[in-house]
C-alpha cells in the first residue's frame, strides 16, 4: 500500500465525482471551509479531531487526507502518537488497526524510513 499514490488516485476520483455532482461538491466544500475556519480551535486541533473520527470510523482515505493536512499544519509525530493513543482508548481493537495505518501514512508522507 502506498498512501501517497492512494491519495492521488482518490483526488482524481473525487474530481470526476465533483464534475458529475457540482452542486453537492460546492455544498461539501462550503461545509468543510466553515468547519475548518480558525476560531476557538486552530487548524491543527481541528485536523486532529477529524483524524480521530476517521480512525474510529475506519475511513482509510480520510486518514490519509487528514494525515497530509496535519503535516501541513505543523503537527509532530509525537503529537500524532498521543492522538492515536486516544483513538485506541475510545475505539478499541479496530481503532488500533487504523491507528497503525495512520502512523504508516504519516511515515510515508514525511519520509520516515521503515
* Sequence ranges of the domains in the chain: 3-110
Q: Which CATH number is 3-110 given? A: 1.20.1290.10
pLDDT tens-digit profile, the chain (114 residues): 699 999 999 999 999 999 999 999 999 999 999 999 889 999 999 999 999 999 999 999 999 999 999 999 999 999 999 999 999 999 999 999 999 999 999 999 999 887
Asked if residues 67 and 109 have their Cβ atoms less than 8 Å apart, the reply is yes
* Buried residues in 25-44 as b, exposed as e (16+ CB within 10 A): eeeeeeeeeeeeeeeeeebb
Asked if residues 36 and 43 have their Cβ atoms less than 8 Å apart, the reply is yes
- Closest listed residue to residue 104, CA positions, set 82, 86, 81: 81
pTM: 0.88
Amino acid at each position: 500500500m502506498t498512501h501517497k499514490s492512494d491519495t492521488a488516485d482518490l483526488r482524481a476520483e473525487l474530481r470526476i465525482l465533483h464534475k458529475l455532482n457540482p452542486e453537492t461538491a460546492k455544498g461539501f466544500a462550503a461545509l468543510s471551509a466553515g468547519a475548518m475556519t480558525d476560531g476557538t480551535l486552530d487548524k491543527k486541533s481541528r485536523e486532529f479531531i477529524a483524524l480521530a473520527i476517521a480512525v474510529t470510523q475506519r475511513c482509510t482515505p480520510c486518514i490519509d487526507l487528514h494525515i497530509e493536512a496535519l503535516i501541513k499544519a505543523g503537527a509532530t509525530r509525537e503529537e500524532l502518537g498521543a492522538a492515536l493513543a486516544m483513538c485506541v482508548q475510545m475505539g478499541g481493537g479496530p481503532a488500533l488497526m487504523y491507528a497503525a495505518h495512520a502512523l504508516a501514512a504519516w511515515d510515508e508522507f514525511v519520509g520516515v524510513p521503515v
